[in-house]
A = this chain, B = another copy of it.
Amino acid sequence: MAAPSAQASLETSPTRLDAVGSALLFTEARTTNTFSDRPVTREQLREIYELMKWGPTWANTLPLRIVYVTTPAGKARLLLRLQPGNISKATQAPVSAILAVDSTFHHQIPRLLPFRPEMREALEADPGLRDKIGTGSAWLQAAYFIIAVRAAGLAAGPMGGFDPAGLDAEFFPSGDWRSFLVVNIGHPGESSWQERLPRLDYEEAVRHA
Question: Chain A: residues with CB nearer than 8 A to chain B?
Answer: 4-7, 9-10, 13-29, 31, 45-46, 49-56, 58-60, 62, 64-71, 73-74, 77, 108, 111-114, 133, 135-136, 139-144, 146-148, 150-156, 158, 160, 171, 180-181, 187, 197-200, 202, 205-209
Contact = CB atoms under 8 A, between A and B. Distances in A.
Among A46, A112, A140, A209, the one with the most B-chain Cβ atoms within 10 Å of its Cβ is A209
8 contacts: A17-B21, A25-B151, A49-B202, A56-B146, A60-B197, A66-B207, A67-B207, A142-B143
B202 A46 contact: yes
A112 B49 contact: no
The count of identical subunits is 2
B28 A52 contact: no
Nearest to A42: B208
Contact of A28 (B6, B71, B143, B147): B6
Nearest to A202: B49
Contacts of A151: 16-17, 21-22, 25-26
A53 B14 contact: no
B4 A20 contact: yes
Given A62-B199, A140-B139, A197-B112, A77 B14 contact: no
A33 to B, nearest CB: 12
Contacts of A155: 14
